Structure 1
């Protein structure tokens, strides 16, 4: 108790209030930036940048000169890179800030990506129509959160990072497009790449199986955390490859049932936290760290 009284007596409240105001303004600015950002990967990048800034400030405060110099330059380089990568987000943020829409920026928004059932419906509907039109197709679906190593592909293909839709899948596999001769890689609720060339299985397969079926068997033999959906160009039959084995022929309803049982249901959904929830979390963490918080001017004067 005496130690707490001595700390309160020697505390420089002006510097402490300035410190709290500084931290509060930084948190408010960070919150506004996160509201503008829409994608989960971009959020991770911003969080990494914030971590670098905090590490640079901490190293400077602790007197670690060399580490502070390296981190400060790394922060500058990261800021320049992010300004190039996040051009649209930065432009939208500056436009809202210039119009004075600060209150609107602080309002919580919710941007939901397609849920897992909607994603599977889009995939199954696209496969069904491709099958009816006898258009060959090959789709790779990751079944776990661990991404497939691109080195397992013969050719990684062209990166797309597009939301899954029935129309997009059908368009990719039209013979008049440049990306039809290959597979599309689906991760969560997005098409990551198209025109992916897969290794061919070395197993002795039936003569009725074409290159797409053998490619589906080859990648599922090599990679455990994926399955492949194949649409035959000759017969229009639907097949599902898993661990090097083909399950065929399938109806669209049976395909959906198998996908629901095997595909990881976790799909990225961007939900901007409400200001009330952030305030409650900050209050709880602040109360937990308050006895150990090194406020400026807390050292005893000698």
Structure 2
């Protein structure tokens, strides 16, 4: 029970305001959970969102069963709610383990990764990538580069997560990784911001029927960009040395170094990025505003003295 001082303090606030504050806290908690455990376009995030919808449905049904005095249905739904909570912990045990480990180490900044640090830098880093692609193309060394354009991709999207590197991007290192004499040449190299995140990553293949001139690297590039829209794949053909760029399941080939630079600069342009963020933020603000108005109207109706008189 709240202390007398706290109850006296809360009595100054209208009941509808406390209810709205309660809803706001729940929304913030849901957002924090999704932010901590899920990334955009990842299977983990969809699982969390599905779990939240399931819990909300169960809570509403339990409330209705209490009003209608359906004791058996209420008992079953409460057990389903507990089972759902246990099930989500089992399903996301690796994510919870990583979260608790980062929390124990005090790595609070990594719990809320900044998307600005995960953007591809359009200056020196881009030059290093283009130099490496040009050299690999001239020497006809097969290569597959995956460039993350938004949040880090969930490793569950890969057939094999490969080997974690977390090394600074350089033309020499990229060329070395794809040398056939190295152990990490088979697979894709993941570029995250100004770092090489991983190598020897096996990507999912597309199920489309493609030309025989396109090999496994091209099929992997198309398959990956079909699943994740916020990424690009650069492919260097081992047979012809031609350069290709895959985005959203489509392949552009063959490309010159200058044309590849134009496409990458257009994709990672700060102006385009700012416009996209502004549009997304504006859309999110409008949605929150409209939902907030609806929520306030319903709160006023439920908590108004007239509704209590009718009851």
Task: Please report the TM-score for the alignment, with normalisation by the length of structure 1.
Answer: 0.52
* C-alpha distance in 2 between matches for 1:36 and 1:197: 26
Report the CA distance between 1:87 and its aligned residue. Answer: 1.9
User: What does residue 55 of structure 1 align with?
Assistant: 57
1:213-263: CA deviations, max 9, x gaps? 64456678999969863335688x552267677415x22x32111345679
Q: Is 1:239 matched up with 2:243? A: yes
1:168-207: CA deviations, max 9, x gaps? 755642434434124457899987982448689654x6xx
* C-alpha distance in 1 between matches for 2:221 and 2:93: 39
The partner residue of 2:114 within 111, 114, 117 is: 111
* C-alpha distance in 1 between matches for 2:39 and 2:225: 28
* C-alpha distance in 1 between matches for 2:27 and 2:127: 44
The partner residue of 1:173 within 167, 172, 178 is: 178
User: Unaligned 5+ residue runs, structure 1?
Assistant: 1-12, 97-103, 151-155, 206-212
The partner residue of 1:126 within 126, 129, 139 is: 129
User: What does residue 194 of structure 1 align with?
Assistant: 201
Q: Is 1:230 matched up with 2:235? A: yes
* C-alpha distance in 2 between matches for 1:294 and 1:59: 21
User: What does residue 208 of structure 1 align with?
Assistant: none
The partner residue of 1:287 within 292, 296, 303 is: 296
For these two proteins, the number of residue pairs brought into alignment is: 252
> Would you say the 8 A contact 1:201–1:215 is kept in 2?
no
Report the CA distance between 1:31 and its aligned residue. Answer: 5.9
1:19-68: CA deviations, max 9, x gaps? 56754654565566567568444665544443333222111101154555
Normalized per residue, the structure richer in helix is: 2
> Would you say the 8 A contact 1:52–1:75 is kept in 2?
no
User: What does residue 138 of structure 1 align with?
Assistant: 144
> Would you say the 8 A contact 1:123–1:165 is kept in 2?
no
Q: How does 1:1-302 map to 2 (within 5 A)?
A: 23=23, 26-27=26-27, 29-30=29-30, 33=33, 39-40=39-40, 41=42, 45-63=47-65, 65=74, 66-67=76-77, 69-93=79-103, 111-114=114-117, 118=121, 122=125, 125-132=128-135, 134=139, 135-139=141-145, 157-159=159-161, 166-167=169-170, 169-170=174-175, 172-183=177-188, 194-196=201-203, 203=212, 214-215=215-216, 229-231=234-236, 237-240=241-244, 246-247=253-254, 250-251=256-257, 253-260=258-265, 284-293=293-302
SS at match of 2:180: coil
